[in-house]
């Protein structure tokens, strides 16, 4: 069994506001992407990390990786990404060597995921689950609405029972053949998906959850950066 981690890092980070691509922004003085690579490499199960860089940023990302210390045994490849997260993941999967049998897909935008969460995803895949997502119960009640114009009131359509809902994080873990099949199917149907497990679900394969972690939150908006800095500072204290 050889497990690789693919890190999609090709996004612009529009919701974070103007500046460098999100994955290259500093967190505690170190680019977010470096934190994310270290978070994967820290797991003994991960043999290889594939970083999917902004389309024109692969050389810059390669330099960054060479400048920052990583655990010794980690091999890191860099490939250019695409216009959508799905295309970027696809580019990362295409770079995997033939001896890889399972894969983690991990957002560069989740730089602080603890190694125990990574390990529990890998373990569930190695125990035979074809698709595994870390998940947490929700704090907020969630409403389904009929989407309208931004800023305008929207009619509520339904209120799913909160106790049955989970917010999912990354790394999401997969049997590689299962994930490749899901990507093929989506490419044919032309549909989109906001996470990799969602694509696998559509092929009829059962996805299971393992407990996620609060610190695996995604840095999306400016307030998330404030929280990420605080978590890092607490770890260093």
Residues in contact with ligand CTP, shown as a per-residue x/- string from 7 to 26 under the rule CB under 6 A: -xxxxxxxx------xx---
Which 4-63 positions form the footprint of Mg ion (CB under 5 A)?
11
* Nearer of residues 36 and 46 to Mg ion, judged by Cβ: 36
Which 22-51 positions form the footprint of ligand CTP (CB under 6 A)?
22-23
Residue 80 binding: pick among Mg ion, ligand CTP, none (C-beta 5-8 Å cut-off by kind): none
- Nearest distance from residue 211's CB to Mg ion, in Å? 25
CB atoms under 10 Å from CB of 170, counted, come to 28
Residues in contact with Mg ion, shown as a per-residue x/- string from 154 to 173 under the rule CB under 5 A: --------------------
CA-to-CA dists, residue 60 to 23, 37, 53, 57, 76, angstroms: 12, 15, 9, 5, 14
Count of residues in contact with ligand CTP, rule CB under 6 A: 22
C-alpha 189: how far from chain center = 23
* Nearer of residues 19 and 147 to ligand CTP, judged by Cβ: 19
Residue 107 binding: pick among ligand CTP, Mg ion, none (C-beta 5-8 Å cut-off by kind): ligand CTP
CB atoms under 10 Å from CB of 151, counted, come to 6
Residues in contact with ligand CTP, shown as a per-residue x/- string from 107 to 146 under the rule CB under 6 A: xxx-------------------------------------
Question: How far is Cα 103 from Cα 40, in angstroms, rounded to an integer?
Answer: 11
Q: Tokens for 137?
A: 């119960």
Question: How far is Cα 186 from Cα 180, in angstroms, rounded to an integer?
Answer: 10
From the list 71-79, 82-90, 126-134, 179-187, the region that binds ligand CTP by CB under 6 A is: 82-90
- Nearest distance from residue 161's CB to ligand CTP, in Å? 27
C-alpha 177: how far from chain center = 19
CB 26 within 8 A of CB 113: no
Residue of 220, 224, 227, 231 interacting with ligand CTP (CB under 6 A): 220
CA-to-CA dists, residue 148 to 68, 153, 206, angstroms: 46, 7, 33
Question: How far is Cα 156 from Cα 105, in angstroms, rounded to an integer?
Answer: 33
CB 107 within 8 A of CB 170: yes
* Nearer of residues 123 and 136 to ligand CTP, judged by Cβ: 136
* Nearer of residues 91 and 124 to ligand CTP, judged by Cβ: 91
CB atoms under 10 Å from CB of 84, counted, come to 14
Site residues for ligand CTP per CB under 6 A: 8-15, 22-23, 52, 81-85, 88, 107-109, 218, 220
Site residues for Mg ion per CB under 5 A: 11
């Amino acid at each position: 069994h050889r497990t690789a981690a693919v890190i999609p890092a090709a996004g612009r980070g529009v919701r974070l506001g103007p500046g460098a691509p999100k994955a290259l922004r500093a967190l505690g003085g170190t680019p977010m992407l470096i934190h994310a690579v270290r978070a994967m490499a820290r797991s003994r199960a991960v043999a290889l990390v594939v970083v999917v860089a902004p389309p024109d940023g692969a050389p810059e990302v390669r330099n960054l990786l060479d400048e920052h210390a990583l655990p010794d045994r980690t091999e890191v490849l860099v490939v250019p990404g695409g216009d959508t997260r799905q295309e970027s993941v696809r580019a990362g999967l295409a770079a995997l060597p033939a001896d890889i049998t399972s894969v983690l897909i991990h957002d560069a935008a989740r730089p602080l995921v603890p190694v125990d969460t990574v390990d529990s995803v890998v373990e569930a895949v190695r125990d035979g689950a074809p698709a595994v997502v870390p998940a947490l119960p929700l704090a907020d009640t969630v409403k389904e609405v009929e989407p309208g114009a931004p800023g305008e009131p929207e009619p509520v359509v339904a209120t799913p029972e909160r106790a049955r809902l989970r917010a999912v994080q990354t790394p999401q873990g997969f049997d590689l053949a299962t994930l490749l099949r899901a990507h093929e199917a989506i490419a044919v149907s032309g549909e989109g998906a906001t996470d990799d497990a969602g694509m696998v679900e559509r092929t009829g394969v059962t996805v299971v959850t393992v407990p996620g972690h609060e610190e695996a939150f995604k840095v999306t908006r400016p307030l998330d950066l404030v929280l990420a800095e605080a978590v890092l500072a607490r770890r260093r204290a």
